[in-house]
Each structure stands twice: as C-alpha cells, then as structure tokens.
C-alpha cells in the first residue's frame, strides 16, 4: 500500500475499504481481456477504482471493494458461518462445593496472570468473538445474527476470501474456459493480485500507552516478534485476521514446536552421554590400542598395509552417534511421535469446537472453477440439492488417476535409483581416495568418502525437492479435482509420498542394507 497514493486501505473517498488489489502494466497489450474482466466484475456487484503507482507510473493498481449486499449474497452462497448468539454457561447453585471450586480457580487464574508464558487476553479485545455460536449465513434470517457494525461483521479474511472466489469465477472472454484471475496472471494480463493488509504494522507511539492502531499492529507487537517466542500465540486473533486455515496451521506449528522441547532435551542428553563416554568405549579402545594389527590395502596402487589404529578417530565418531543411548533415544522418539499425534488430536478438537468448525469443510465446499470449465457439458442432477452440476465421467477420472499414479511411481523409482547411485559411487571412490597422493585424504579416506557421498546425496535431495513440488502440482491439476479440499488432499498426499521417499530412502538403506553388506 506504500506504492498507492491514497492513505490507508481505503478508496479515494476515504470510506470504502479496499478488499483486493489487481496490478498491471500500462504497456501490456491485453487490455481487451482486462476490460471484459473488469466489466464482468462490476456486473457481479464489485466496485473498482484505478490508481497509478507512486514509484512507477507505468504500474496501475485496481482497488476492489465489495459492498454489503454483494457480501451478503456470496456469504450465503458459500455457507460462511457467522456468529448469531452468545454462548451461555449455567452453574448449579445447589452445590456447596462450588464456592470452594470458584475460589480455587480464581487463585489459579491470578497465578497464571503473572506467568509470562500465559497469553495476556486484556491486550486482545477481539478474542471474545469465539464465545458465540455460529451458523451458515442467510439473508432471510439476517436479524438472527449479531451485527453490531456492518463494516466489521465480516472479517478482513472473510471479505478477501469472498472477493477471491468471485475473481476465480469471472470470465474475461466469451469462452466457457476463459475464466479466472489465475489465467489472467499466467497470460500476463495482470502481474499480481493480492489482498491488502490492515494498515501499518508499526506505530510511533508505544502500544502500552496508546493501544494498537489495528489488528495487524497488535499481531506484530504481541506475536510476530522474536521477543514473543516464549509466549502463547493469540490464535483467535490470527484466525480473525488470516482465516481459519492459517489459524489452524499456526496452532499446529506452535504445538509441534512446544512438543519438540522434551525431544530436544533428551537428544542433547544422549549426545553428551556419547561424548563423555566416547573414550571409554571398549570397541574404540581396542581399535585405538591395536598398533600391531595390520589390515590389507584397499587398492592395488600407492596403497600399503594399514594399521588398525589408523581408524581410531573414525571409531570414536561412530560411537558418538551409535551407542546405547541412541537406542534409548530411538525408543523415546517412537513413543514421542505417538504422544504428539494423540495430544494434537485433542488440541485440534478443542479448537474446532471453540471456533465452531465441526463439519466446516463439508458445509463450505464449492466446485473449483477449473472443474466447472472442463466438465460444464457433462451435467447431472445432484441428488442432495436437486440442481444440475458438472460431472466427471468415471472413465475419464480413472484414466487421469492412472497417469498421475504412474508419474508418482516413476519419481519414486528415480529416488531409489539415485540412492543406489550414491552407494555405487561410495564403492568406486573408496579405492580412489585410499590411493590418493595427498596424505591427508589418504589417511582419512573414510571421512573423505562419507563426506563426498553425503554432499552428493544432499544435492540430489534438494534438486528433487524443487522438481517434486512442480510435478505434484501438475499431476494434481491433471486429475481435475472437484473441490478445493480434494485438490489440497491430493496435492498433500503426493508431496508426502515424494518427501518421505526422498528424505528417508538413505536412512532405510543405512538401517536395513548397509549393516549387512
């Protein structure tokens, strides 16, 4: 917003809020597509305003505002859940122990208020919104919803989501498939499309005395700072500002990070145990003291008999990462993974109940515009809604799925091939390093071989990671999923398979094959 002449996320009249921004260059020749697209956006009920950029006059911004009536129409169409009644909590006055319980909880609350780890809810006034029941928005029952202010009833995240839904389904040409802002960005008609933030995230006045300017400023001061790493996250405010999906993501990330603390402590203890007992290892002592034991040379040229104690350092380093403590750590991590998963399920259930997200995906599912454009001619009547909608034939779905699965197995086989290639490389280079003329490499050929193999394996993993995301994206689009959740699930499954094989194939080789070879 610093590149736009107007102050703040508002139109020039200072009243209408900017809900989305489109960016294009004046020199772009595809103005017909833009004009048609913008005309259709206005026909759908959106309000547009153009403004040149301050830094570069060649850049034009199109500010989009969604009026109240259009907002309500699409909120009802998307079944967006909105608060309609405050939750009530009843107590039984006949219980004599209730007074003691209230005193006990009051003491705990006072103690927690002084604990720096606990979230200071007095700094987050918007967190009380979660104390409401929610239901799918309906214009016919609008009087049942808690609407104190029309400008703030729908959060910024909800407004931006509705506008993006409209941008994805608005045509820019007469063809049925000529639809959506994504295609306009891909063909160069627009160079960017994004929702604006809510004002500035910094203020010249301290937040303690003057309060936050907006939710973004509040989140920056009380959440998105290194100094807040030890405090709880304001998940309700994150959800209000960014939406439910982002809120759940940071809830999982915070829970995962917190659960890693005991795993990290145990891992450090195991590491220091191996470090302190490294010199007392019986195997290491025998290898280091074997000065009169000679081993056969590893190569035919420039290689002589080797003393067994030449591998003393390598034996100690091996013991450091492979001792009795590491067995305990492996068992601990197996238990930790199960505990983490079960406790996260409980935490997620609490959040979905508090945020009223039970069956949220099923209620808000809409067809993807790409699916509608592809199968608009193959309509069938939905048995639930009784309305015709696009349908993907089973033969087409199976064919696309087989192509996608074939690509997945090809990429997995490519990873396995790369792992065995690194193994062959180790066998070939081992002899070369042992006969190296440089004494340092010749003396520490084991480290040289392992380090070179590790570097090559790392490069292969990073390169394949870059390719996997694009391949998974293309294969998911090839399947033409019906809804956004189906697209996300399919994409997540492919990325999980790719990442799992790519990152763990070397570990499986070390665990099940290297020890027996």
Q: Is 277 exposed, middle or buried, given 0-12, 13-18 or 19+ CB atoms closer than 10 A?
A: middle
Cα 436 from chain centroid? Answer: 47
DSSP state of 22: E
- State how far the Cα of 501 lies from the Cα of 415, in Å rounded to an integer: 7
Higher-scoring residue by pLDDT: 289, 195: 195
pLDDT at 267: 92
pLDDT at 517: 46
Structure tokens, 67? 């009026």
- State how far the Cα of 149 lies from the Cα of 118, in Å rounded to an integer: 31
Are the C-beta atoms of residues 236 and 126 closer than 8 Å to each other? yes
Helices (H) and strands (E) counted in the chain, each on its own, are 19, 10
pLDDT of residue 404 exceeding 60: yes
- State how far the Cα of 22 lies from the Cα of 193, in Å rounded to an integer: 5
- State how far the Cα of 101 lies from the Cα of 491, in Å rounded to an integer: 49
Are the C-beta atoms of residues 233 and 138 closer than 8 Å to each other? no
Q: pLDDT tens digits, residue range 157-176?
A: 899 999 999 998 888 887 66
pLDDT at 106: 59
CA distances from 422 to 417, 457, 459, 486, 511 (A): 9, 7, 11, 37, 16
pLDDT of residue 213 exceeding 60: yes
- State how far the Cα of 485 lies from the Cα of 217, in Å rounded to an integer: 32
- Work out the pLDDT band at 231, boundaries 50, 70, 90: confident
Q: pTM, whole model, 2 decimals?
A: 0.74
pLDDT of residue 454 exceeding 60: yes
- State how far the Cα of 182 lies from the Cα of 369, in Å rounded to an integer: 11
Closest listed residue to residue 59, CA positions, set 30, 91, 24, 99: 24
Q: Where are the alpha helices (DSSP H) in 290-393?
A: 312-321, 324-354, 360-364, 369-374
Residue 447 has phi, psi (to 5 degrees) of -65, -40
Structure tokens, 476? 């998911």
Provide the percentage of residues in the chain whose pLDDT is more than 70: 77
- Work out the pLDDT band at 209, boundaries 50, 70, 90: confident
pLDDT at 304: 66
Q: pLDDT tens digits, residue range 52-104?
A: 888 787 899 999 999 999 999 999 888 888 887 665 544 444 444 445 555 65
CA distances from 183 to 33, 172, 173, 189 (A): 11, 9, 11, 9
Are the C-beta atoms of residues 400 and 479 closer than 8 Å to each other? yes
- State how far the Cα of 114 lies from the Cα of 121, in Å rounded to an integer: 12
| pLDDT mean across residues, the chain | 79
pLDDT of residue 515 exceeding 60: no
Enumerate the domain spans of the chain. 20-80+137-194, 84-135+202-242, 365-517
Tell me how crowded residue 373 is: count the other CB atoms within 10 A of its CB: 19
């Amino acid at each position: 917003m610093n590149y736009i002449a107007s102050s703040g996320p508002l139109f020039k009249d200072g009243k209408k809020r900017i809900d989305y921004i489109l960016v294009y260059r004046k020199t772009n020749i595809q103005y017909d597509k833009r004009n048609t697209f913008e005309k259709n956006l206005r026909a759908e009920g959106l309000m547009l305003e153009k403004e040149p950029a301050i830094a570069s006059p060649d850049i034009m911004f199109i500010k989009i505002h969604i009026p109240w009536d259009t907002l309500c129409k699409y909120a009802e169409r998307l079944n967006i859940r909105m608060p309609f009644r405050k939750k009530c909590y009843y107590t039984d006055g006949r219980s004599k122990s209730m007074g003691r319980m209230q005193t006990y909880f009051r003491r705990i609350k006072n103690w927690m208020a002084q604990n720096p780890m606990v979230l200071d809810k007095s700094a987050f006034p918007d967190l009380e919104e979660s104390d409401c029941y929610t239901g799918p928005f309906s214009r016919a029952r609008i009087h049942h919803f808690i609407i104190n202010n029309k400008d703030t009833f729908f959060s910024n995240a909800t407004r931006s989501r509705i506008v993006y839904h409209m941008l994805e389904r608005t045509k820019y040409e007469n063809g049925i498939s000529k639809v959506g802002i994504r295609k306009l960005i891909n063909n160069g008609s627009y160079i960017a499309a994004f929702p604006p933030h809510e004002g500035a995230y910094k203020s010249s006045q301290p937040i303690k005395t003057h309060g936050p300017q907006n939710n973004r400023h509040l989140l920056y001061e009380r959440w998105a700072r290194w100094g807040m790493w030890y405090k709880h996250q304001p998940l309700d405010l994150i959800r209000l500002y960014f939406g439910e999906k982002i809120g759940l993501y940071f809830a999982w990330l915070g829970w995962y990070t917190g659960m890693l603390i005991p795993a990290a402590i145990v891992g450090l203890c195991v590491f220091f145990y191996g470090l302190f007992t490294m010199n007392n290892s019986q195997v290491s002592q025998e290898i280091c003291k074997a000065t009169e034991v000679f081993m056969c040379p590893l190569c035919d040229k420039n290689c002589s008999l080797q003393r067994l104690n030449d591998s003393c350092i390598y034996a100690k380093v091996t013991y450091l990462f492979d001792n009795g403590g590491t067995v305990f750590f492996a068992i601990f991590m197996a238990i930790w993974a199960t505990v983490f998963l079960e406790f996260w399920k409980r935490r997620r259930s609490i959040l979905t109940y508090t945020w009223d997200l039970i069956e949220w995906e099923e209620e808000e599912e809409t067809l993807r515009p790409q699916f509608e454009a592809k199968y608009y001619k193959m309509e069938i009547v939905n048995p639930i809604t009784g309305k015709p909608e696009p349908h993907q034939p089973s033969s087409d779905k199976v064919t696309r799925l087989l192509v996608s699965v074939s690509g997945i197995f090809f990429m997995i086989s490519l990873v396995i091939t790369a792992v065995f290639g690194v193994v062959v490389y180790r066998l070939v280079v081992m002899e070369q390093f042992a006969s190296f003329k440089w004494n340092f490499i010749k003396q520490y050929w084991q480290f040289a071989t392992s380090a070179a193999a590790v570097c090559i394996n790392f490069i292969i993993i990073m390169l394949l990671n870059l390719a996997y995301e694009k391949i998974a994206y293309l294969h998911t689009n090839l399947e033409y999923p019906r809804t956004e959740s189906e697209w996300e699930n399919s994409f997540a499954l492919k990325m999980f398979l790719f990442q799992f094989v790519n990152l763990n194939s070397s570990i499986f080789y070390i665990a099940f094959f290297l020890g027996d070879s």
